[in-house]
Amino acid sequence: MNVNQQPHMASPYGQPQPGYGGGHVPAGYPAQYAPYNGPGSAHQQGPPQGMRGPPTSGAPPVTPAQNYSQFGQGDTQNGPPPMGAPPQRPSVSQPYTPGAVNLSGPQPPYNQQFGALPNSMQQMTNQMASMQVGSTAPSPAGPGYAPPSVSHSPVSAAYTHSAPPTFPPTSAAPTHPPPTEGVAQPPPQSYYGAPHSAQQSFPNAAPAYSAAGPTHPQAPPPVSQQSFPQAPPVSQPPFSTGPPPGPIPGPRTHSYGGPPPGAQASFQRPPLPASHPAAFPGGPTSHPAAFPGGPTSHPSAFPGGPPPTSAPSQMPGVIPPQPPVSQPTSYHSGPPPTAAGFTPQGGPPQRPPLSGMQAPPHMTSQGPPMVQANHVPPSQPGMPPVPPNASMSGPPPQPGLQAYPPQQNGAFGQVRGPQPGYAGPYAGQQNYGAPSAAPAPAPSAPKRLDPDSIPGPIQVIEDDKANKGSEPFTTGVRGQAPPLVTTNFQVKDQGNSSPRYIRCTAYNVPCNSDMAKQSQVPLAAVIKPLATLPPDETPPYLVDHGESGPIRCNRCKAYMCPYMQFIEGGRRFQCGFCSCVTEVPPHYFQHLDHTGKRVDCYERPELSMGSYEFLATVDYCKNNKFPQPPAFIFLIDVSYNAVKSGMVGMVCQELKTLLDYLPRENPDMESNIRVGFVTYNKVLHFYNVKASLAQPQMMVVSDVADMFVPLLDGFLVNVQESRVVIESLLDQIPEMFADTRETDTVFGPVIQAGLEALKAADCAGKLFIFHSSLPIAEAPGKLKNREDKKLVGTDKEKSLFQPQVGFYNTLAKECVAQGCCVDLFLFPNQYVDVATLGVVPTSTGGSIYKYTYFQAPTDQERFLNDLRRDVQKQMGFDAVMRVRTSTGIRATDFFGSFYMSNTTDVELAGLDCDKTVTVEFRHDDKLSEETGALMQCAVLYTSCSGQRRLLIHNMAVNCCSQLADLYRNCETDTIINFFAKYAYRSLLSSPTKNVRDSLVNQCAQILACYRKHCASPSSAGQLILPECMKLLPVYLNCMLKSDVLQPGADVSLDDRAYLRQLISTMDVAESHVFFYPRLLPLQKLDVESTTLPVAVRDSEERLSRGGVYLLENGMNLFLWVGANAQQELLQNIFGMPSFNHIDPSMTSLPALDNPFSKRLREIIETIRTQRSRYMKLMVVKQEDKLELIFKHFLVEDKSNNGGASYVDFLCHMHKEIRQLLS
Amino acid sequence: MATYQEFIQQNEDRDGIRCSWNLWPSSRLEATRLVVPVSCLYTPLKERPDLPPVQYEPVLCSRASCKAVLNPLCQVDFRAKIWACNFCFQRNAFPPSYAGISDVNQPAELMPQFSTIEYIVQRGPPTPLIFLYVVDTCLEEEDLQALKESLQMSLSLLPPNALVGLITFGRMIQVHELSCEGIAKSYVFRGTKELTPKQIQEMLGLMKPATSGQQGKPLAPHDDSASCRFLQPVEKVDMNLTDLLGELQRDPWPVPQGKRPLRSTGIALSIAVGLLEGTFPNTGARIMLFTGGPPTQGPGMVVGDELKTPIRSWHDIQKDNARHLKKATKYYEALANRAAVNGHGVDIYACALDQTGLLEMKCLANLTGGHVVMGDSFNTSLFKQTFQRVFGKDYSGEFRMAFGGTLEVKTTRELKVAGAIGPCVSLNTKGPCVSDNEMGVGGTCQWKICSLTPATTLALYFEVVNQHNAPVPQGGRGAVQFVTQYQHSNTQRRIRVTTIARNWADAQSQIQHIESSFDQEASAVLMARLGVFRAESDEGPDVLRWLDRQLIRLCQKFGQFNKDDPNSFRLSESLSLYPQFMFHLRRSPFLQVFNNSPDESSYYRHHFVRQDLTQSLIMIQPILYSYSFYGPPEPVLLDSSSILPDRILLMDTFFQLVIFHGETIAQWRKAGYQEIPEYENFKQLLQAPLDDAEEILQTRFPMPRYVDTEHGGSQARFLLSKVNPSQTHNNLYAWGQESGAPILTDDVSLQVFMDHLKKLAVSSSA
């Protein structure tokens, strides 16, 4: 179960590795890891899983020693034998020490080989360090591990054994590698990738180990083992030679050993884990990964294989590898269990994978026994034993222990195995581990999985940060997945668009539609054409091709881009999309160099960059006329409710200053944007603010049935020229309507008014509508209250998401035709039918902001910040977006805020820097692996200065003929983003339940397909998740629990409709945090640090009563204060001496002069600036009634609405997958 | 008895009445044989400085179907305190307040000299006058500026308590709210969408909110002020409105090349009517439309905005080629009727070089008694002074305007009223004295005249219904009573009652008497009104033929001649001028559309059917004065022979005032002799017609077009087109060396006309 397939992990790494491929050196981390992982993983995988399995499974009970021994045997058999299986074994007994020794021994070789290693080493060390940090935290877990450590000896033994065996296998693997080599490298890399994860795991493991001082020693040994395994894969080429295994391990070990003692320790630990069960977690993982990489399937196979093969006794050995695998990912826990589970069932199947590893098979044979060990024991045996022991030995390990028991109990018992691993890895674990709570649960629900043992987002996020955050991401290499959205990284545009503009669900696209169908992995790109770049990245260059306009392919009209191949000495070019050959216009001619590149390639952004802009010619303009500068029109509701809530006064006051900050391209110039003002209740008031007037003039239009604009000259004005009049107007509006009794409002005519004004001025623009209530006044677009909670949950529920009248759809169409973008600010006190009011904003590229029960004092800041940002942000008007793709795939479906009048052109009346468009692709032919799949997204728009431009984003991805490649190069966050948009749109046409079911179903199919085609054969009871998708279940569960798909009784229809529409334009970063909120612990905040504290998982169990946490999801920001929070902490934050003095209604923290308060407020500011909407701070006191709301965001827990907890959901998914497989 | 001339004059002075016949034929048959119907011109509010109004209610006949007012013709039994109605013979007791009545103590209404008497009555609270300006902003800058100044000036002329409102229009219509402070507010409507009165009132926020039931009382005052937002007392918003007018801008919507500005006159008027209808029904009010061009969009549009499509001409209309004509006319008629029902008058001040759609809009003024003023530009004295004169005051300092009048006609049994022609609408009141035959606006005995001036004159046509064999009551007299109720400009409600009587005459035995009682001036005007009225609906030639036939029949009836001998034809003095009037009428712009745009025709006809007899005659046959060194100024024949080189001519056609310098005079003037002291007399000669013209200008409403021209001048056409073309290029040489100026025309001259007339009149075959 737990075993996440490292393969995926590997893949990520793999990519890095490619880079490394050249030299391991390049990517310090990857390389290092890779090596480690590779080798280790390969072997270990099988074993690790098994290993972990054992631990978790409660292998403890199982004779860990045996397991180990078994493993050991197995392992030893595999590779290490020469290495000194003996030593290892001894080490095993003395696990660590020996391991260390071994390591030392082997390490050297590695070092030599890697050469680069030092760096990597360092990095490793660093990582380790970090890991350690994590681990330190885990240390508590350590205890848990500690037990393992105890067992370690045995483990080590096991490892040692295993190590040897592993090598052999590795050697076998090597064979594989060779073939792959060229290619193989990647795989290994992938393995390595796994390793990385593994590393992570290591750290974790390390911590665990670290906790157990002794364990560490053990760890080393395992490491060495790992090294072996790794060595093979990594070095595969080198390894293949034979020595590799040995050396490899050596190097690593060396590295480990080499590093400062501390480092070593840490390293060792990791390695240890890898090698041993404990080691496994870390090392193993890597190993597994490695294995998988080699034989993609292998990994799994290995894992499976080893455990089974190892048989109970062997299992341990085998298991160890697996554990590592699982370890890297949260899976570790999984793997072990799986191993366990597999052992029983899959033992044999696993073997097959081992096939490569003959030894493994044997192991497998042994496996059966393992099975017995069972599930739990077996896999864990190796590992488990330790844990158990540990647990047994020391209560502290409890977490681990507990974990195990539960696993054992549940089908997931296997999972338990991994759990231990996980437990180790998770920093949070420490807490947990430490917390008595953890133990408690275990006992209470023995059946339950230990949450620590299942894949956790935080771990993945932190790993990615650690691995990818430091190096710039270059876009030149096709098919590599970018760092996660949660990672800070710099992008270098080398021919493909930055991931800030385009993120794909998969960077390796299946070559044909059969594969795509089989995998069920959606092929989609989330495009954010106008994304804001960090200051250190250059915005797209502006290219002017002169009067004849941008150079384009004659046939498909694709724009000049790096994929155009110049031929015939540069006189023609061949289109990368449709292969058509087009003449190069004389003014664009340039000679080619000896490689066939144009000489000016690097001088022209369109030939060397992924993103750039063309200056459009008049042919690209509406009516063949250059556009007028756009206009902003502010339409303010002045009915009773709006005035009373304070909104009107606030808007008017704010606009006075805000108008100085209208978007402009050149900061020194005045903005070209003109502004106009309208107020309305059931009639509309236009204002003439012509500069020549002494006083503004109000023009009332009561003919709302047939809206028109009463004036032309003087309505849209330049802010500078009419400043005095405008200020006078904004001063007077609140006064004029202060005594209004009018409660009815109109809405349709308001939009019409803005639209007509833009039409009259013949320009594009944006409407800012500030609206308060359901438009019930007699007018077009009049609505009635249709909120009927009884419909929720029925087949008619979907009608509530559909607009109640068709009027707005027609209106939206007209708006789009004119380039009239509508932003809607809602201030409702009751139902306003967001589903209907939102039609126009969502069809015109606008946004909706909703401030329910708006109260000036508390919501002012949030609203004004949103308004400021909305007014100031860069945007394009009257845009058309077209996505062209290379032959073979086609953009078939689009999601976002826009309108489409045909099947290809996405029409956006307005497109701002926060809007994304998600595009789904489907095959309509076969793709070739050589050319890959290309896409070009061209956005024609009018800039805020009225310039017509073409923004081009190019993206190339690889095509793969192996499903494994697909699974290795995909991005779960993006997939979830796509699923959410897809599901939320489906709500319009299908009952909510169907939508939910089909989501679960599709995910199950994706995972089942992986299991069937990519994972090494293993017991059906084992849950194997692709490394890249191991978070799919947790995120999917979050999505299923969202208010939209599973509303609680307190969630209004408006809220659901609002969120539904909001999601449709979210980019990956926003959707990620929206579904999985960020929960930052503050009690141990490092006031000197400039980085945010490491988040913890969204579960109540992770909250300590003595802590203070910050939770944000892009919409809400909570400060949760534990009931036992230290007085000093409270004093620092609130300036209040005690918990009881805290006022839960405060919306901002007092500015106190202490470093903690400053830092905390800084953090809050940082978080707010990261999001496109301002989040109001809510202070939640533990056990206060507000806590219910807060708990809603602890998405790993069971929700009040009936949403499953993560653990439960994972079980459910597993069941689904098993059903699909059987 | 004095001569009929004196009698007629006396009657006119006292009652404002001119009858076609002053003896009435006693039977229906005889009456029809007289050709010119029994009819009269009545000026209801003729200025009577010598007639102080009485401050009590009139005494009415108690018969429900009669309700005639006690008058000098009634028989009174002072002792029984009973009076007999002279229309229905009902015997009525005097009301208690007349207890003191006696032979020597008679109330005014019984005195013969008070055949016309005016009562001031109390009818509800006095309501202020209302002036609603509807201003076109699609004007040239210069025009708009002039108009703005005129409007600002007019504020000072209005009675201080009068309510004013302002609507401006161009492509859109803005109804300005006058009560607010700070930001100037206006309600805007688009010019293309027809709105029901209810919608308009809703959109202006004039409807009482239906939901305010529970808060009704506290809201009430608020509502009142709300309904008045657009109409405020002048004294209160004087400054405000002056500023508002000052800030008026030209319509901001761009007018592309080759297009007319979009002008939503139709909707603007409908909103104005709707606004008053909703706020002040049945209260005296004037809607004053100032427009500088034709309506070009929305309902009531007269011409599209494409300049390449010219506005309809008579030619187009005759060819049925005016696509908007019928629709627009119908639209404005509907509006006019609505305004009339509510007693609101509509004035049209149209100043443009091209047509402005008066043809379509004329009914607004025609049916409500409003003014129509047509000029070339708002920046001319013609407009400025005319407009100023609208607010002219009479001898007692009262505005020369009255509102919401109704005219009721009662007749004795032998007579029935067949119809009226003038600025009125029928109130559709059936009664015993309503004839089945209609002449003009008939079928009723009551008409509404929403806006009156002292000059407003109606033509009323009667039918003698006494059968031929019925005995004429011995010494009996036919009587007609006109009861005019109206709102005086000082907001009083008043009733003016005029009762007239004429003797019956047996046409067979007393034909000479009847002939001598013929009032040819009145008859000419009355027949002309009938002709003009017909011309509105019939083809021009048909009307001319009808007029000719009537004239021939009249000549046959009263002429003395030998059969088939044209030379023997003679007419008595009382009819001698009549053919000449008819000759000029045939040539007048009221019936001839040649050389006139449809707008001009409408304009001329509008004024023709409302002016009093004198003015009407001037319109039919312009007056020509001649100034020379040979004697004092003298009226001369309106004939080309009067155009002599050494004369200065002054022609008054009512619409134009032409000073024409003969060839010699013109040369002298050019030579500057008038500047030389020795030729002081020449200077005086030049000055004389100017002084006379000035005098005419002072009293005329609307201001005539003032033309100063000379022999050979282009503007001399005004004169040449009016004079009888006795000398033309056809007969110039035949007439030898007669002085005078030949007129280049094929029109028949009076001489030819008369020859034909005689020939036809004496023809036995006719």
- Distance, in Å, from the CA atom of B611 to the CA atom of B699, rounded to the nearest integer, reads 13
Report residue A160's pLDDT band, with 50, 70 and 90 as the boundaries: very low
CA distance B350 to chain A (A): 25
pLDDT of residue A847: 93
- Residues B112-167 have pLDDT tens digits of 889 999 999 988 788 888 999 999 999 999 999 999 999 999 999 998 889 999 99
Average pLDDT of the segment spanning A645-654: 93
pLDDT of residue B732: 59
Element (H, E) at A581: strand A581-583
B189 contacts in chain A (CB < 8 Å): 701-703
Higher pLDDT, residue A1031 or B180: A1031
Which residue among B184, B199, B253 sits closest to A697, beta carbon to beta carbon?
B184
Which residue among B172, B183, B247 sits closest to A736, beta carbon to beta carbon?
B183
Indicate if the pLDDT at residue A261 is higher than 80.
no
Average pLDDT of the segment spanning A927-952: 92
- Distance, in Å, from the CA atom of B433 to the CA atom of A734, rounded to the nearest integer, reads 65
Closest CA to A791 of A982, A986, A987, A998: A987
pLDDT of residue A499: 93
Apex CA A286: angle with CA A283 and CA A290, to 5°? 140
For testing contact with chain B, the best of A686, A706, A707, A708 (most B CBs within 10 A)? A708
CA distance B164 to chain A (A): 19
CA distance B268 to chain A (A): 14
CB atoms within 10 A of CB A1219: 10
pLDDT of residue A810: 94
- Distance, in Å, from the CA atom of A965 to the CA atom of A1027, rounded to the nearest integer, reads 12
pLDDT of residue A1092: 86
pLDDT of residue A138: 35
Across the interface, whether the CB atoms of A729 and B183 are under 8 A apart is answered yes
CA dihedral A640, A644, A646, A648 (to 10 degrees): 20
B253 contacts in chain A (CB < 8 Å): 712
**For chain B, what is the largest distance between any 2 Cα atoms, rounded to a whole number of angstroms?**
93
Higher pLDDT, residue B277 or A63: B277
CA distance A550 to chain B (A): 35
Those residues with Cβ within 8 angstroms of residue A879's Cβ, 6 or more apart along the chain or in another chain: A845, A907, A908, A909, A910, A911, A939, A940, A941, A942
Before A539, cis peptide (omega within 30)?
no
Indicate if the pLDDT at residue B38 is higher than 90.
yes
Across the interface, whether the CB atoms of A697 and B204 are under 8 A apart is answered no
pLDDT of residue A693: 86
Closest CA to A948 of A1207, A630, A559: A630
Render B420-454 in DSSP notation, one character per residue: EESS-EE-----TTB-SS-SSB-S-SEEEEEEE-T
Which residue among B203, B252, B253 sits closest to A702, beta carbon to beta carbon?
B203
Indicate if the pLDDT at residue A374 is higher than 80.
no
B240 contacts in chain A (CB < 8 Å): none
Beta strands in A681-790 (DSSP E): 684-688, 697-701, 717-718, 765-771
Nearest-by-CA chain B residue for A682: B203
CB atoms within 10 A of CB A991: 16
pLDDT of residue A331: 36
B254 contacts in chain A (CB < 8 Å): 712
Supply the DSSP symbol for A552.
Answer: B
Indicate if the pLDDT at residue A607 is higher than 50.
yes
A685 contacts in chain B (CB < 8 Å): 185
Indicate if the pLDDT at residue B27 is higher than 50.
yes
Amino acid sitting at position A1033? P
Q: Among residues of chain B, what percentage have pLDDT more than 70?
A: 95
pLDDT of residue A851: 94
Lowest-pLDDT range of A538-552, B620-634, B722-736: B722-736
Average pLDDT of the segment spanning B168-179: 90
B214 contacts in chain A (CB < 8 Å): none
Report residue B740's pLDDT band, with 50, 70 and 90 as the boundaries: low
For testing contact with chain B, the best of A684, A689, A700, A732 (most B CBs within 10 A)? A700
Lowest-pLDDT range of A357-371, A764-778, B14-28: A357-371
Higher pLDDT, residue B82 or A795: B82
Total CB pairs under 8 A between chain A and B: 66
pLDDT of residue B473: 65
Amino acid sitting at position A1167? I
Indicate if the pLDDT at residue A177 is higher than 60.
no
- Residues A33-44 have pLDDT tens digits of 333 333 333 333
pLDDT of residue B190: 87
Across the interface, whether the CB atoms of B203 and A703 are under 8 A apart is answered yes
Those residues with Cβ within 8 angstroms of residue A713's Cβ, 6 or more apart along the chain or in another chain: A690, B249, B252
Which residue among B185, B193, B249 sits closest to A706, beta carbon to beta carbon?
B193
- Distance, in Å, from the CA atom of A345 to the CA atom of A322, rounded to the nearest integer, reads 16
Q: Is A43:A76 a contact under the CB 8 Å cutoff?
A: no
Report residue A845's pLDDT band, with 50, 70 and 90 as the boundaries: very high
Across the interface, whether the CB atoms of A698 and B252 are under 8 A apart is answered no
Nearest-by-CA chain A residue for B201: A702
pLDDT of residue B726: 83
Nearest-by-CA chain A residue for B169: A710
- Distance, in Å, from the CA atom of A801 to the CA atom of A834, rounded to the nearest integer, reads 9
Across the interface, whether the CB atoms of A732 and B182 are under 8 A apart is answered yes
Which residue among B182, B190, B202 sits closest to A708, beta carbon to beta carbon?
B190
Element (H, E) at B345: strand B344-351
Across the interface, whether the CB atoms of A697 and B186 are under 8 A apart is answered yes
pLDDT of residue B685: 92
Nearest-by-CA chain A residue for B250: A713
- How many residues does the structure list for chain A? 1222
How remote is the C-alpha of A1051 from its chain's centroid?
A: 26
- Distance, in Å, from the CA atom of A280 to the CA atom of A49, rounded to the nearest integer, reads 8
Six-digit token string for B709: 């021209």
- Beta strands A4-5 and A1025-1026: pairing type? parallel
Indicate if the pLDDT at residue A906 is higher than 70.
yes
Indicate if the pLDDT at residue A323 is higher than 70.
no
Report residue B424's pLDDT band, with 50, 70 and 90 as the boundaries: very high
Across the interface, whether the CB atoms of A695 and B182 are under 8 A apart is answered yes
Average pLDDT of the segment spanning B469-485: 83
Average pLDDT of the segment spanning B211-227: 41
pLDDT of residue A241: 36
Which residues does A contribute to its contact with B (CB < 8 Å)?
683, 685-687, 693, 695-703, 706, 708, 710-714, 729, 732, 735-736
- Distance, in Å, from the CA atom of B178 to the CA atom of B192, rounded to the nearest integer, reads 25
Report residue B764's pLDDT band, with 50, 70 and 90 as the boundaries: confident
Q: What are phi and psi of A333, to 5 degrees?
A: -50, -45
pLDDT of residue A692: 87
Report residue B408's pLDDT band, with 50, 70 and 90 as the boundaries: very high
Closest CA to A635 of A718, A752, A724: A752
For testing contact with chain A, the best of B174, B181, B187, B198 (most A CBs within 10 A)? B187
Report residue B612's pLDDT band, with 50, 70 and 90 as the boundaries: very high
State chain A's mean pLDDT as an integer: 70
Higher pLDDT, residue A732 or B212: A732
The CA–CA distances, whole Å, from B233 to B127, B129, B287 equal 12, 9, 16
For A301, counting Cβ atoms within 10 Å of its Cβ (0-12 exposed, 13-18 middle, 19+ buried), the class is buried
CA distance B135 to chain A (A): 16
- Sign of the CA dihedral B642, B643, B644, B650? positive
- Distance, in Å, from the CA atom of A1066 to the CA atom of A522, rounded to the nearest integer, reads 18
Average pLDDT of the segment spanning A661-684: 88
Average pLDDT of the segment spanning B411-436: 92
Six-digit token string for A246: 């040995």
CA distance A852 to chain B (A): 28
Q: What ipTM did this prediction achieve?
A: 0.84
Which residue among B172, B187, B247 sits closest to A702, beta carbon to beta carbon?
B187
- Distance, in Å, from the CA atom of A639 to the CA atom of A679, rounded to the nearest integer, reads 9
Q: Is A39:A245 a contact under the CB 8 Å cutoff?
A: yes
3-state helix, strand, coil in chain A (%, to 5): 50, 15, 35
B183 contacts in chain A (CB < 8 Å): 687, 695-698, 729, 732, 736
Six-digit token string for A878: 């009257």
Across the interface, whether the CB atoms of A703 and B184 are under 8 A apart is answered no
Which residues does B contribute to its contact with A (CB < 8 Å)?
172, 174, 177, 182-190, 193, 195, 199, 202-205, 247, 249, 252-254
Six-digit token string for B717: 């056409």
CA distance B646 to chain A (A): 59
CA distance A764 to chain B (A): 19
pLDDT of residue B584: 93
B190 contacts in chain A (CB < 8 Å): 703, 706, 708, 710
Closest CA to A334 of A1031, A1095, A1038: A1031
Indicate if the pLDDT at residue A1221 is higher than 90.
no
Nearest-by-CA chain B residue for A707: B190
Amino acid sitting at position A138? P
- Beta strands A1025-1026 and A611-615: pairing type? unpaired
Indicate if the pLDDT at residue A14 is higher than 80.
no
Q: Is A755:A709 a contact under the CB 8 Å cutoff?
A: no
- Distance, in Å, from the CA atom of A725 to the CA atom of A730, rounded to the nearest integer, reads 9
